[in-house]
Structure 1
Amino acid sequence: MSGNIHPTAVIDPKAELASDVEVGAYAVIGPQAKIGSGTKIWHHASIWGNTSIGKDCQIFPFASIGMQTQDLKFKGGNPGVKIGDRNVFREYVSINAATNDGDFTEIGNDNLLLAYGHVGHCCKLGNNIIASNGVAFAGHVVVEDHAGIGGGGTGIHQFCHVGRHCFIGGCSKVEQDVPPFMLADGNPAKIRMFNKVGLERAGYTPEQMSAIKFIFRTFYRQGLNRQQAIEAIKSSSFADTQEAKSYIAFAESSERGLAGGNK
């Protein structure tokens, strides 16, 4: 047994672990697990099911990754979880497998999920996402890159879509889609402002910020419905900016409606 693996760890001989994976005391790793180089599984963590984890991840104590979906529509088969590189899952994070045979709950690269977080079945999380303590993603939630989500029991309703570079305040109840670049907060969560601080930290230029500020005012300060706001942006001087194009694409594809009152 490798010196990186504690003698009390329970690892199925069919599991595939890179030679330098570290496994702590009393951790449990199932037969279908595949774990990449440089990843550390802390003591008492559990990796189960059809689960692949990339390089240089950290799975902290009592985290549970890959267990069977909680979806009552589950009919068997071999759904699973796919996780990329350099992710950190803190204590008691749970990540469930997808529901249907051959489907996967997916998490990209460089994400940080703090303690007691939950990722439900069939979620698709991108890259560079920070979810604070106690954030719960229900089934089929999509979260784009660089989203930030405050903790304290923040819940994201099933099938919601969370846009890139947005921020959601702590203790929020998200029932509708949160568009890119915006700051949402409350119960139910509504758009309060654009994510000024987060965007500046991400290096957005004054020109980009002007476009986002215009989008915010058009959607949330002029009393327009969604289609009217979209048309106003398309006819504005910001129509050809990448920010306007991506925001409009998000708004036009929204099925749950946009947080903040626009339907």
Structure 2
Amino acid sequence: MSPGSPFSSPTPAIHISACIEPGAQLGAGVEIGPFCHVGPNVILGDGARLVSHVSIAGFTNIGARTRIFPFASIGHEPQDLKYRGEPVRLTIGEDCLIREGVTMNPGTAGGGSHTIVGARCVFLANAHVAHDCKLGDDIVLSNNVMLAGHCQIGDFVIISGGAAAHQFVRIGAHAFVGGLAGVENDVIPYGIALGNRAALAGLNIVGLKRRGFSRESIHDLRRAYRALFAPGGTLKERAEDVAAEFAAHAEVQQILDFLREGGERAICMPRAGKEDNV
């Protein structure tokens, strides 16, 4: 550090105005900027950086190299009226980006007591991750996205600005949710959900191409999608037909597994008479 640096020591680098409570565990190369507060049960992985005015509480584990920007509130008590002060946890993976005003809550006893966020996720300003959510890797939550309690979000999901997900909603891997969508039902992997209330609007073709899915895989996903959501019969019957036809196609089987697993919410379906993006 240069002479006159505002940080108290080079490893980790802690601004003199920050409050680090006894018991907090700081990895190598951690940087904690002005007016941050780190609670006694917090773990900051190697190279984590709190820019300024960040408040981290509870049994919270922040992964290596994760950056957190001003006025984020991480790990404070879950916003659940049933919470009675029991020990609950929040785990955030490596290389995440958490921008201004983001809030993330730990779990509750009724939901496994643990909120989990994967690696390389991006949370833009004022996004909210509620208690007991389970998020995979490489997810993007844009500005003002709201995840209610117990949501499950798969890898590579993108949720656009101002969208909200109902409690217990599942959003499958590689799905895309449009801006201001109100998602009250489960969104299949690779799907697009648009509107309020959100309806299925086809496949995330742009995302699939950007992530290097082959032309053949995308073509098969299109055919499977049209068969799954064709008129006539029940979704279960159509899923059985698709399972037989695409037995060797991993991405189609991923959609079918998602349908079989089920959850607390119904499946988000296409809007009647609306042409889908397939």
TM-score, length basis structure 1: 0.95
Provide the secondary structure at the position in 1 that maps to 2:185: coil
1:112 aligns with 2:122: yes
Other-structure match for 2:107 = 98
Partner secondary structure for residue 235 of structure 1? helix
SS of the residue aligned with 1:72?
A: coil
- Preserved contact between residue 81 and residue 98 of structure 1 (Cα < 8 Å): yes
Q: Residue 143 of structure 2 aligns to which amino acid in structure 1?
A: N
Aligned with 1:27 (options 24, 36, 39): 36
Tell me whether 1:84 sits opposite 2:93 in the alignment.
yes
The one-letter code matched in structure 1 to 2:158 is G
Displacement of 1:223 after TM fit? 4.5
Residue 104 of structure 1 aligns with an amino acid whose one-letter code is H
Q: Please, which of 127, 131, 148 is the counterpart of residue 121 of structure 1?
A: 131
Matched, 1:240 2:248: yes
What CA distance in whole angstroms lies between the structure 2 residues aligned with 1:224 and 1:146? Answer: 32
Give the counterpart letter for 1:103 in structure 2: S
**Secondary structure in 2 matching 1:204:** coil
Mapped pair 1:225 → 2:270: no
Cα offset for 1:177?
0.3
Q: Distance in 2 between matches of 1:197 and 1:252?
A: 26
Unmatched segments (≥5 aa) in structure 2: 1-7, 272-278
Whole-Å separation in 1 of the counterparts to 2:37 and 2:52? 9
Quick check: 1:61–1:92 contact (8 Å CA) kept in 2? yes
**2:53 maps to which of 44, 58, 83:** 44
Spell out, residue by residue over 1:67-95, the C-alpha distance to the aligned partner (whole angstroms, 9 max, x if none). Answer: 00111111222101011100011000000
Amino acid at match of 1:141: C
Is the counterpart of residue 11 in structure 1 residue 20 in structure 2? yes
Partner residue of 1:252 out of 249, 256, 260: 260
Q: Report the identity percentage.
A: 37
2:190 maps to amino acid? F
What is the CA-CA distance between 1:224 and the residue it aligns to? 4.4
2:75 is paired with a residue of what secondary structure? strand
CA drift of 1:181 comes to 0.6
Name whichever of 14-23 and 194-203 sits farther off.
14-23
For residues 126 and 232 of structure 2, the distance between their equivalents in structure 1, rounded to whole angstroms, comes to 39
Which residue in 2 is equivalent to 1:187?
196
Moved more, 32-41 or 226-235: 226-235
Extract unaligned runs of 5+ from structure 1. none
Structure 1 residue 99, shift from structure 2 partner? 1.0
Name the residue aligned to 1:145: 155
Query: Partner letter of residue 219 of structure 2?
Result: S
Counterpart in the other structure of 1:199: 208
- Cα distance, 1:222 vs structure 2: 3.1
1:261 Cα deviation from its structure 2 partner: 5.6
Greater C-alpha radius of gyration: 2
How many residue pairs match? The answer is 260
Cα distance in 2, alignment partners of residues 31 and 86 from structure 1: 23
